[in-house]
Structure 1
């Protein structure tokens, strides 16, 4: 964003100055985490995989019976408009839809006026040097929500499950934490999907492991397949991560970042592996081409 440009936030149906972008203290998004969101990347002033994000947003809204006041086409245009208004060349969009203002109770019939909030800004999730040297992570004792309680495919505003695991990571001196599912299998990290490489095969937990179907995860699978890499979605346990040749994480904010240590166990050589570096390089090229 240009220093001369005051930040504009899209709120419901128009762009407003940042200090005017306010919602009611009775909004169920604030009171109960009742809403959904998307984190979307901007590369070279273009919104990356906007349609995929919009599709996931509306699927999540349907799942939680939230009626979004804009059509998918209007939402797509609103995202583009917000990015342009803030002169973002390389950055990040946070798209939020809340249930709207209601009463001090859970009954959604007492809510009205769902709020659409679009923020376009810059972002830096991890220090740049970790993309070259790799990061260390730990396994959190906090597990992912049971998929029968809250589907991980809904990118809900209620991120307390992830936050508690993130606290465990930061308390241990790491910037990320691995989360297991209710079966004791590897699910994902607090904000990223996880991949490993073993004997030249790229592996990642399947959808039924209780993961968010990440957009960057999807792109990396596509790029790996195009490169002739054998890609498999299969259940994993921590032992598979400990004994992997390579490991990396993916996410809209994180992009592709190597992991070289889990719970004090060195992964592979303890440095980013060749397939990880190849896919990271190809991803960086692809986002400028797409």
Structure 2
């Protein structure tokens, strides 16, 4: 396994490049404890198999190396990037992205992308590799600094996901998120939030979402490793619900923080 120096091992995610034949995962570390490490490593190997990346490293060894790496980081908060390729394993500690407290207090603004996920990317969307051109190009569509992210649509015009996040709405007390068969990433935080919702006695389901559903939702939020649960206040200039975050989003954020505190 390649370990980087302290200076080199703490760098912005945007500075990290991924050569061909390499897959990666980004994990959240809370005071030196990694959130859902096993699920991330499992998805890393699924991406490797899908992408035809050959490795002789056993899954158990990667998990052990990750645990040791996190321990060496001490009680640090931030992100860990795992990169697996034919040349071996690399682990890099990077600072977590800092989101303004106002994002969580007031919600963020989104816009839908004019680009659509092509059929050729359906398989690739389930793996994390260097092939993220659609997301990068969609990110460049942000016409204003007030736009937090862009939402990708499927060829059928259904809502897919954000450039680096999964999307949820709440309507009539029911939490809805696009199904995996729409070609979205099986986000680890997405999965955790769905489990939390069920544990909290909330109704949650996977279903096709149209922009109409977004515009008329009671609440909306995004999930990913870095931001956790981010409330959405506007989509394409339409106000989402009466206020963000809504009661369901607040409840989920509280439950998520409780899970993190118990790590």
Q: Distance in 2 between matches of 1:154 and 1:96?
A: 13
Are the counterparts in 2 of residues 249 and 257 from structure 1 also a CA contact under 8 Å? Answer: yes
Q: Distance in 2 between matches of 1:20 and 1:125?
A: 20
Runs of 4+ in 1 over 4 A off after TM superposition: 18-21
SS in 2 for 1:129: helix
Structure 2: any 5+ residue segments left out of the alignment?
10-16
1:38 aligns with 2:25: yes
Larger Rg: 1
One of 182, 198, 201 as aligned partner of 1:228? 201
Deviation at 1:215, TM superposition (A): 0.4
RMSD: 2.0
One of 72, 76, 100 as aligned partner of 2:59? 72
One of 146, 166, 174 as aligned partner of 1:201? 174
Q: Distance in 1 between matches of 2:80 and 2:180?
A: 25
Q: Distance in 1 between matches of 2:200 and 2:49?
A: 36
TM-aligned CA distance change 1:126 to 1:34, over 3 Å? farther
Are the counterparts in 2 of residues 205 and 235 from structure 1 also a CA contact under 8 Å? Answer: yes
SS in 1 for 2:126: coil
Deviation at 1:89, TM superposition (A): 2.3
Q: Distance in 1 between matches of 2:201 and 2:194?
A: 11
Are the counterparts in 1 of residues 21 and 53 from structure 2 also a CA contact under 8 Å? Answer: no
Are the counterparts in 1 of residues 122 and 183 from structure 2 also a CA contact under 8 Å? Answer: no
Are the counterparts in 1 of residues 4 and 92 from structure 2 also a CA contact under 8 Å? Answer: no
TM-aligned CA distance change 1:149 to 1:272, over 3 Å? closer
Which residue number in structure 2 is paired with residue 52 of structure 1? 39
Structure 1: any 5+ residue segments left out of the alignment?
1-12, 22-27, 99-112
Which residue number in structure 1 is paired with residue 13 of structure 2? none
Deviation at 1:171, TM superposition (A): 4.6
Q: TM-score if structure 2 supplies the norm length?
A: 0.90
Which residue number in structure 2 is paired with residue 140 of structure 1? 113
Are the counterparts in 1 of residues 222 and 230 from structure 2 also a CA contact under 8 Å? Answer: yes
1:177 aligns with 2:150: yes
SS in 1 for 2:137: helix
Deviation at 1:144, TM superposition (A): 2.4
Are the counterparts in 1 of residues 123 and 183 from structure 2 also a CA contact under 8 Å? Answer: no
Are the counterparts in 2 of residues 37 and 155 from structure 1 also a CA contact under 8 Å? Answer: yes
Are the counterparts in 2 of residues 204 and 233 from structure 1 also a CA contact under 8 Å? Answer: yes
Which residue number in structure 1 is paired with residue 135 of structure 2? 162
Length, aligned pairs only: 256
Which residue number in structure 1 is paired with residue 212 of structure 2? 239
Which residue number in structure 2 is paired with residue 152 of structure 1? 125
